[in-house]
Structure 1
Amino acid sequence: MDKEDADPVIAAFYRAALEPAQWDAALRGFARLAGGDVACCFLKAEAGTAPSRACVTGLDEQAWEHGYRRYYHALDPGYAVLTRAPPGHMHLMQDYFSEQAVARSEYFQDFYLRAGVRYSCSGVVRDNGALTILSAHRAAGQGRFDRRTHGQLQRVLAHLPNVLRLRDTAQQAQAHGALGWAGLDALPRAILLVDASLRVVFMNMAAQRLLAATPQARSLIAVRGGSVDVRVSSVQQQLAHRVRQACAGLACPRPAPLYTTDEDGRPALEIGILPLPVRIGQHGVGDGAVMIMLSLRPLFRAGRRHWSGVIERPCGLTGAEWSLALALADGMEPAEYAQRQGVRISTVRSQVQAILAKTGTHRSSEIASLFSALEWDAGAPP
């Protein structure tokens, strides 16, 4: 399988939030990202109840409607796994159900395997008091999920709450096929819409607060003369090039987010680049114009420790710390990493503390967020 990236899939889900007909395309992209053919996104209020809303790709209607929704949803052992943990984390079901458990399960034997799927990666997010489940599935011949793919699917799930919020706002505003400005303003993530020349067409409230009230962000990026200006010239050039490519409909050779660094050489601000086809008559843009959504995310909090510039590995990490940081970015838990490396959990915890100190982060989840988009460099260790 080619090395897919999550960003085009994330963009597809945002498009689907504004254009309901695009949900199937978004799920097909999600299935391809997972290296499989089947994906679904459905709402389920609680255990034992049938899904009340669903979008499914790669699975025939008979298997879904007359199989899962009518009966097998109540036997799904994966749902118990998802509800035991806080929402927002993708779970590899291969880690929970052995071959023996699969062989004994009515759900697996009479529905899942017969539907042509074997492995799944699933996560949940809260949606108006209920849970929305997002899942990707692979057939037995497509193999088990690897950690890199797990990390990419996790990135998509992290955007799903914003996608659902945008969907609901657009529906309430009856903005069918048009961009709901109120929906973007409601997103907690800082969002800017720009044209091919980086001219800002729209900036939501979160972006305004970020650029006005966060000194760190102001020192890295600004809006000057109505256009986006990144203080690091090399990043500005990359951003301009990628935006022009996306507006022209060309595939970006390196679709991972861009990062602009602080004075210590640390990646400090993530810039996601997501193409969106929108219609914005009141802002002087013709119908069908392609706009680009820039998603801004600070990676560190204020008041961090300083250290000398990067010499070899990012943030001056040792080889062992670098290996652990990449594993955390791939979604691996510290205990699992210790087991796989054959070291004590206390050793891994000490390494985590060292990474926290060197990167200025405060918890392992922030380490994962910091390095998750650097996966395209993971195969070339310093």
Structure 2
Amino acid sequence: MNNEGADPVIAAFYRAALEPAQWSVALRAFARLAGGDVACCFLKPEAGAAPSRACVTGLDEQAWEHGYRRYYHALDPGYAVLIRGPLGRMHLMQDYFSEQLVARSEYFQDFYLRAGVRYSCSGVVPDNGAFTILSAHRAAGQGLYDRNTRSQLQRVLDHLPNVLRLRDTAQQAQAHGALAWEALDTLPRAILLVDAALRLVFMNQAAQRLLAAMPPARPLLALRGGSVDVRASQLQQLLAQRVRLACAGLACHRPAPLYACDENGRPALEIGILPLPVRMGVGGTGDDGAAMAMLSLRPLFRAGRRHWPGTAERPCGLTGAEWALALALADGVEPAEYAQRRGVRISTVRSQIQAILAKTGTRRSSEVASLFSALEWDAGAPP
């Protein structure tokens, strides 16, 4: 997997939304992130219909056009997996198709394996009444996907609906200057564009609403003198460093989001930092502008939520098992008791605790309990 993480890939997809010629670049970056050479993004207007629009990298064009699009799309067992469950989730097809099934499948034997690929990780999102499918593929020699790679690919898929919305606005806009600001303003995610010195260049409506809803006395993030400021000085320094690197076009060595904590020490605001390859001048013309970074803001632990959070909502990149354990520790459950309740080895629970400590930046179980205490989430069993 690409050690730079998902952030540069996400940025490449946003650029592709603004510049259609960059879709192939984004797909190649996505394939590298997946540890393979093949990736595709295509629109399927309805079940059973051939893809009506596609961008493919690493696969022979004839294999795609005369193989998949003309015939094998109707036999693709992966599509049935994607539309059975909730949309917006990356699936490892290795979890669904055994070697025996592959050996009996016309799709696998006559098309997929002959095209030089064996394992795929795929997800689907709605797209104007149709479905856009994003998938990465590995050859047999490149091995199975691991869960960490799947989580990085999931981060890209989480942004795809916004990328598509940006793409649609770009297609509707007659001038690039109208596109740059109006398209970002339509995104439901709070977005700030800043320069290398953290000076605000643009803030969309979702960000305005988010900042207005923060407590005026102790806001987690605020605008002071036209610059972005977070309450914790150490976090401010780290944010400034990440933004400088993003604006300089350098690889982010720690691509995970940053978390601003509330007065009780709980992570309350997720801050994603993405490089913005498009240089934008005054009016968004793209001429002689300064390089910028995009800050993507997402509040955590909103009051009144009573469901088990999905992958994209769990803080600090915790898995479902780690999240369940963190909440149990917050409720005062001892590790040995938790292991007995779940019917797992205590060594498994200890390994999960170590993973939670690493992801949350805590040093002991008691700090984990303090961090996740008094949350508004329902701690029932995950789906």
The question of 1:84 aligning with 2:84 is answered yes
Match of 1:258 in 2: 258
**Identical-pair percentage:** 79
Match of 1:6 in 2: 6
Describe how 1:327-346 pairs up with structure 2 within 5 A: 343=344
The question of 1:230 aligning with 2:230 is answered yes
**CA–CA distance in 2 between the matches of 1:66 and 1:165?**
30
Match of 1:219 in 2: 219
Match of 2:373 in 1: 358
Match of 1:278 in 2: 279
Instruction: Give the 3 Å change call, closer, same or farther, for CA 140–175 of structure 1 in structure 2.
Output: farther
**CA–CA distance in 1 between the matches of 2:115 and 2:285?**
49
Match of 2:44 in 1: 44
Match of 2:297 in 1: 296
Match of 1:371 in 2: none
Q: Which moved more, 1:38-47 or 1:280-289?
A: 280-289
CA offset at residue 252 of structure 1?
Answer: 2.3
The question of 1:186 aligning with 2:186 is answered yes
Match of 2:146 in 1: 146
**CA–CA distance in 1 between the matches of 2:12 and 2:279?**
13
Which SS does the other structure have where 1:180 is aligned? helix
CA offset at residue 289 of structure 1?
Answer: 2.7
Match of 1:331 in 2: none
Q: Which amino acid aligns with 2:133?
A: I
TM-score, scaled to structure 1: 0.80
Which SS does the other structure have where 2:89 is aligned? coil
CA offset at residue 135 of structure 1?
Answer: 0.4
Instruction: Give the 3 Å change call, closer, same or farther, for CA 217–297 of structure 1 in structure 2.
Output: farther
CA offset at residue 216 of structure 1?
Answer: 9.0
Q: Which moved more, 1:191-200 or 1:248-257?
A: 248-257
Structure 2: runs of 5+ lacking an equivalent = 306-314, 328-338, 354-368
**CA–CA distance in 2 between the matches of 1:364 and 1:184?**
35
Which SS does the other structure have where 1:132 is aligned? strand
**CA–CA distance in 1 between the matches of 2:66 and 2:374?**
51
Which SS does the other structure have where 1:17 is aligned? helix
Match of 2:32 in 1: 32
The question of 1:268 aligning with 2:268 is answered yes
Match of 1:119 in 2: 119
Q: Which moved more, 1:7-16 or 1:272-281?
A: 272-281
1:34-60 Cα offsets, whole Å, 9 max, x none, are: 111111110001121110111111111
Q: Which moved more, 1:60-69 or 1:216-225?
A: 216-225
CA RMSD after TM alignment: 3.3
**CA–CA distance in 1 between the matches of 2:290 and 2:255?**
21
* Aligned residues of 1:190 and 1:296 also touching (Cα < 8 A): yes
Q: Which amino acid aligns with 2:264?
A: D
**CA–CA distance in 2 between the matches of 1:116 and 1:283?**
43
* Aligned residues of 2:112 and 2:118 also touching (Cα < 8 A): yes
Q: Which amino acid aligns with 1:300?
A: F
Q: Which moved more, 1:168-177 or 1:119-128?
A: 168-177
* Aligned residues of 1:356 and 1:363 also touching (Cα < 8 A): no
Q: Which amino acid aligns with 1:287?
A: D
CA offset at residue 358 of structure 1?
Answer: 3.3
Instruction: Give the 3 Å change call, closer, same or farther, for CA 36–234 of structure 1 in structure 2.
Output: same
Which SS does the other structure have where 1:287 is aligned? coil
CA offset at residue 356 of structure 1?
Answer: 11
The question of 1:70 aligning with 2:70 is answered yes
Which SS does the other structure have where 2:263 is aligned? coil
**CA–CA distance in 2 between the matches of 1:108 and 1:9?**
29
Instruction: Give the 3 Å change call, closer, same or farther, for CA 35–324 of structure 1 in structure 2.
Output: farther
Instruction: Give the 3 Å change call, closer, same or farther, for CA 190–228 of structure 1 in structure 2.
Output: same
**CA–CA distance in 2 between the matches of 1:68 and 1:177?**
38
TM-score, scaled to structure 2: 0.80
Match of 2:96 in 1: 96
Which SS does the other structure have where 2:273 is aligned? strand
Structure 1: runs of 5+ lacking an equivalent = 305-313, 327-337, 369-382
CA offset at residue 253 of structure 1?
Answer: 2.0
Which SS does the other structure have where 1:155 is aligned? helix
* Aligned residues of 1:212 and 1:218 also touching (Cα < 8 A): no
- Size of the aligned set, in residue pairs, is 335
**CA–CA distance in 2 between the matches of 1:129 and 1:109?**
32
Instruction: Give the 3 Å change call, closer, same or farther, for CA 199–356 of structure 1 in structure 2.
Output: closer
Q: Which amino acid aligns with 2:292?
A: M
Which SS does the other structure have where 2:373 is aligned? helix
Q: Which amino acid aligns with 1:166?
A: L
